[in-house]
């Protein structure tokens, strides 16, 4: 199962059509190719899947989700925590049969 952690947009590069996002303290770039032009702004919370911003999420919902993730991460050791955050948007598509 894949879980997408809400990420906050900190920078937008219109030339490359990418956004820099902060995911619980981890900074990374994500493509804006699947979003409508100018629909994402600095400060927005977004959900990412395999390196693409898929949609925006309401700030209140994002903050509730982030608090839940923090509670989960508290019971993990540091290496497990970092891996969970970094890999949150790189899970493969899964099908159930």
From first to last of the 97 residues of the chain, give the pLDDT tens digit.
Answer: 466 889 999 999 999 999 999 998 999 999 999 999 999 999 999 999 889 999 999 999 999 999 998 888 788 777 777 777 676 655 654 444 4
Give pLDDT, residue 75.
Answer: 80
Q: Which of 32, 43, 33, 45 is nearest to 5 (CA)?
A: 45
**What is the reported pLDDT for 2?**
62
For the chain, domain boundaries: 7-89
Task: Report pLDDT for 78.
Answer: 75
Give the model's pLDDT for residue 95.
41
Q: How many residues does the chain have?
A: 97
Whether domain 7-89 has CATH 3.30.530.20: the reply is no
Predicted confidence at residue 41, as pLDDT, reads: 98
Query: Can you give the pTM of this predicted structure?
Result: 0.76
Nearest to 45, CA basis, from 25, 60, 31, 28: 60
């Amino acid at each position: 199962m894949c879980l997408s952690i809400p990420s906050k947009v900190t920078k937008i590069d219109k030339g490359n059509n990418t956004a820099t996002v902060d995911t619980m303290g981890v900074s990374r770039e994500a493509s804006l190719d699947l979003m409508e032009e100018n629909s994402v702004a600095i400060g927005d919370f977004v959900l990412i899947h395999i390196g693409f911003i898929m949609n925006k999420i309401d700030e209140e919902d994002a903050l509730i989700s982030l608090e839940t993730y923090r509670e989960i991460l508290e019971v993990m050791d540091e290496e497990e925590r970092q891996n969970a955050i970094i890999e949150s948007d790189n899970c493969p598509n899964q099908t159930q049969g």
